[in-house]
Chains A and B, each alone.
Chain A
Amino acid sequence: MAPSGLRKANDPPLLILVSLADGPKHGHALAKDIEDFAGVKLGPGALYGAITRLVERGLIEPLGSDDRRRPYRITPPGSAALAGALADMRRVTRAGLARLGLDPA
């Protein structure tokens, strides 16, 4: 497993970090955004399971809110973990595309 714990492109923690990379969101907004950009429909159980683990590892943090819909934002360690995981994926993606002759890079 990668040091950040982010393994696959459709891992709920990775999708949540990508979604939060452009700003804070609450649970429902996260689920909608992830469905839009990744085509993955996360159930409430899977979404909050991943949120709990990310908060525990300090990769995201809750923002103060009077509403029940508490927004979360990505932390600096979270941004670093996301950047590392995406760089790993880009390396694998480039190698795969090059070997298929689809991308000369």
Chain B
Amino acid sequence: MKPARLLRWYPRTWRERYGEELLALIQDTLDEGRPTWRLRLSVAWGGLRERAHQAAQAGTAAAKRASLGWLITVTAAPVLGNLPWNLKATLPPARVWQKTAAFDALVGAFAITGVLVLASGLVAAPAFIAFLREAGWPKIRRRVAWAAGAAVPAGGGLAGLFLGQRSMSSAQLSHSWAYAIGVVATTVALVAAFGLWASAATATAKHLKLATRARAAQPLLAAVTLTAALTIVPANLLWLAAIQSSLAWLVVGVANLALVGFVTPRRIGWAVRRSRRLRTAASRRTTHH
């Protein structure tokens, strides 16, 4: 076996950086001889370890990049998928106020999340328009096309569930396998659509040249959006508790609300400090120039 073929164990980026050096070392070690099994194993093991290292690094980076988008996705999609079914639930008149209050809280959490996502978009709008004017569209076209494509089955599935909910009684819904499969399929489609839109937004954001104010506002908007998105979970649990008269859902919902109340102020505090740092750094640069 030629020593150069041993390099195939390593990832391409590593070979481009260190490949020639490693080959030189192997050739020095061989001294005109053939590679021994010990040397081959050393190189193969080194290459596999390098691949594992790069995969772990890429995974960590992707998780950091996508954590907010995916958290909102996995929070909102199952809630939306189950919405038509849960809306059908009927209650004795004495408990209707509980259902109404919990449902209003859920709708409020969704609405605030939507408004905040929209506000983040508006803050970035001037930079986005400038990006499009500088012929940036081809850089994001494919991702946006995938996201738009995924939104079609998700929207269709949700519309189908609402139509099914109208034409069937609560008992029929509970026993319909077709409806249950529809809920699962719609939830999966919603996860895919939200995830692809979040991915397209992240990819677009990388190309934008944001003004200092907009850059300083982004961490704060992201933290508040996360808070609003996270309150969807306890709001939904409390709504389920009201519909199903379930003490277990009530306990889990209250515990979840407490967790959100504990975690999010810290996240917002961190975002405020980061925004301040960005503003201070920008003003220092301006003074310096």
Q: Which residues of A contact B (CB under 8 A)?
A: 26-28, 31, 43-49, 51-52, 67-70
Interface-lining segment among B38-46, B92-100, B116-124: B38-46
A28 with B46, Cβ < 8 A, contacts A52-B18, A70-B21 known: no
- Determine if A28 and B50 form an interchain contact, defined as CB atoms under 8 angstroms apart: no
- Determine if B21 and A48 form an interchain contact, defined as CB atoms under 8 angstroms apart: yes
Distance, CA A46 to CA B44, complexed state (A): 10
Report whether over half of chain B's contact residues are helix, strand or loop; otherwise say mixed.
Answer: helix
Distance, CA A45 to CA B21, complexed state (A): 12
B20 within 8 A of A: yes
Distance, CA A43 to CA B30, complexed state (A): 12
- Supply 13 A–B pairs (Cβ within 8 Å), ascending by A: A27-B28, A31-B29, A43-B39, A43-B43, A44-B22, A44-B29, A44-B42, A44-B43, A45-B41, A45-B45, A49-B50, A68-B21, A69-B28
**Cβ–Cβ < 8 Å partners of B38 in chain A:** 43
- Determine if B14 and A52 form an interchain contact, defined as CB atoms under 8 angstroms apart: yes
Q: Which residues of B contact A (CB under 8 A)?
A: 14, 18, 20-26, 28-29, 38-39, 41-47, 49-50
Give the residue of A28, A43, A69 whose beta carbon is less than 8 angstroms from that of B42: A43
CB distance from A64 to the nearest CB of B (A): 13
Distance, CA A69 to CA B47, complexed state (A): 19
**Cβ–Cβ < 8 Å partners of A52 in chain B:** 14, 18, 50
A44 with B20, Cβ < 8 A, contacts A28-B25, A28-B28 known: no
**Cβ–Cβ < 8 Å partners of B44 in chain A:** 45
Residue with the greatest number of chain B CB neighbours at <10 A, chosen from A45, A52, A69:
A45
**Cβ–Cβ < 8 Å partners of B43 in chain A:** 43-45
**Cβ–Cβ < 8 Å partners of A70 in chain B:** 21
- Determine if A45 and B47 form an interchain contact, defined as CB atoms under 8 angstroms apart: yes
Distance, CA A51 to CA B14, complexed state (A): 12
CB distance from A54 to the nearest CB of B (A): 12
Distance, CA A27 to CA B20, complexed state (A): 11
Residue with the greatest number of chain B CB neighbours at <10 A, chosen from A44, A47, A48, A67:
A44
- Determine if A45 and B24 form an interchain contact, defined as CB atoms under 8 angstroms apart: no
**Cβ–Cβ < 8 Å partners of A44 in chain B:** 22, 25-26, 29, 39, 42-43, 46
Contacts A44-B43, A45-B44, A68-B24 supplied; 13 other A-B pairs, CB < 8 Å? A26-B24, A27-B24, A27-B25, A28-B24, A43-B43, A44-B25, A44-B46, A45-B41, A45-B42, A48-B18, A48-B21, A52-B50, A69-B21
Residue with the greatest number of chain B CB neighbours at <10 A, chosen from A26, A46, A67, A68:
A68
Give the residue of A43, A67, A68, A69 whose beta carbon is less than 8 angstroms from that of B46: A43
- Determine if A69 and B24 form an interchain contact, defined as CB atoms under 8 angstroms apart: yes
- Determine if A68 and B49 form an interchain contact, defined as CB atoms under 8 angstroms apart: no
Distance, CA A49 to CA B14, complexed state (A): 10
Task: Select from chain A the residue with minimum beta-carbon distance to B35.
Answer: A44
- Determine if A45 and B46 form an interchain contact, defined as CB atoms under 8 angstroms apart: yes
Distance, CA A46 to CA B47, complexed state (A): 9
Distance, CA A44 to CA B18, complexed state (A): 12
Task: Select from chain B the residue with minimum beta-carbon distance to A47.
Answer: B25
**Cβ–Cβ < 8 Å partners of A48 in chain B:** 18, 21-22, 25, 46
Distance, CA A45 to CA B24, complexed state (A): 13
Distance, CA A54 to CA B23, complexed state (A): 19
Distance, CA A48 to CA B14, complexed state (A): 10
**Cβ–Cβ < 8 Å partners of A46 in chain B:** 42, 45-46
**Cβ–Cβ < 8 Å partners of A45 in chain B:** 41-47, 49
Distance, CA A69 to CA B48, complexed state (A): 23
Task: Select from chain A the residue with minimum beta-carbon distance to B29.
Answer: A44
In the A-B complex, list the 3 residue pairs whose CB atoms are closest, starting with the nearest: A45-B46, A43-B42, A27-B25
